[in-house]
Structure 1
Amino acid sequence: MRIHYLQHVPFENPGNIIEWVHKKGYKVTGTHLYNFEAVPAMEQFDWLIVMGGPMNIYEEKKYEWLGYEKRFIKEAIDNHKIVVGICLGAQLITDALGGKVTKNPEKEIGFFPINFSDEALESTLFKGFPKDINVFHWHGDTFSEIGEGCEIIASSNACKNQGFVYNKHVIGFQFHMECREKNVLSLIENCGEEITSDRYIQTEAEIKANLDYLKIANTLMYTFLDNLEADYLERSN
């Protein structure tokens, strides 16, 4: 299996997703869009992972590769690739599916609980997941309207739409289960000016005090990837 990822800034990498890929012995490649690298041809990958980033999906004048990336994501979906988006990545997928991305009523930064829907927990993709988990967040925008055929799978007090699934092969997460401790600390270092005083923004000290929550989230990311792999291999046979 060949897995390709799209990375938007040097400090937001695929985290424990890469560890899972290496453990499985699969091939992994990446496009660092901030370096204007070329994306692969469709026949060169099976899964596409779209990472997060501090930019917004509508800032195409500032980040001229965004339009190019959106077309590539849409093509991957149309070619029935497995496509997984995290934070900005999920928002880019939403745009490709005809949904709408806007400012969330609340900026959400830090560790806050999300609640999975009963329908999500009954699906094979989220087998083994608990109803509620504390996960890491860092976002101001959200997919306020999902595309036709998408199903919302999770929510939080600050953000109504925390994840979605489209046709079982396209999944978006507004939150971060892929982050290791170094990923969180790197976000603080590079985007710390966004940590202001608000009810759903934790202080730097609070974030660092809650890093143990990453252990459960990392385990669940592995569980999700295992479930996704099983579904993919079953459909491929």
Structure 2
Amino acid sequence: MSNKVLIVDDEESIATLLKYNVEQAGFETEVAYDGRVALEKATNESYQLILLDIMLPGIEGYEVCKQLRQRKIDTPILMITAKDDEFDKVLGLELGADDYITKPFSPKEVVARIKAILRRSNQHVVEADTSSVTIADLTLYPEQYEATINDKQLFFTRKEFELLYYFAKHKGKVLSRDHLLSAVWNFDFVGDTRIVDVHVSHLREKIEPNTKKPSYIKTVRGLGYKLEEPHE
């Protein structure tokens, strides 16, 4: 596996600072200063992780992230933003980013985030049990990271699939956000519970006939979520 991190930031001073500290942590690095170059590199080369600034010339970071996920490239992405705005963070996560960090940041924090993401990426929830699961019209195939509903293929990011599979293996059980962070994102996840809500919302868009009245993933007010058989 590649030990290379792609650093994408149009501010040369920040890119240089990140490059130095990431290399000191034992990774190889490459740098891209605009979105188009980053998209080309990430599509055609192998990286262990991508550090992706949002505000970029050419193509902004959100679009780079979106296009990479549409191309089925699941390299972990840590988004960097100067905007301390919840909408921006949630949008990045919805598009398939694994985590975000807000400027100004310390280089040590960035390295810690990188290592945490890679630990989570290397501890796949579905590895312990690779049996397929069927719940009503929904079937999950963990060995292929694939799913179907009414025989129609569904497409998920890796973390979306792992969350849905975890729900399916614990059908009918109420799972708190903290529990899901521990089980699916690993206990040392450094973000917050909103990432669970974002991923649940994304799953509902893909599997629910009516997202306003979910039939599979139910919200249990004050407790968390549970997946159950749809009722007629």
- Normalising by structure 1, we get a TM-score of 0.39
Higher-strand-fraction structure: 1
TM-score calculated relative to the size of structure 2: 0.39
Asked which structure has the greater CA Rg, the reply is 2
Relative contact order (alpha carbons < 8 A, sep ≥ 6): 1 or 2 greater? 1
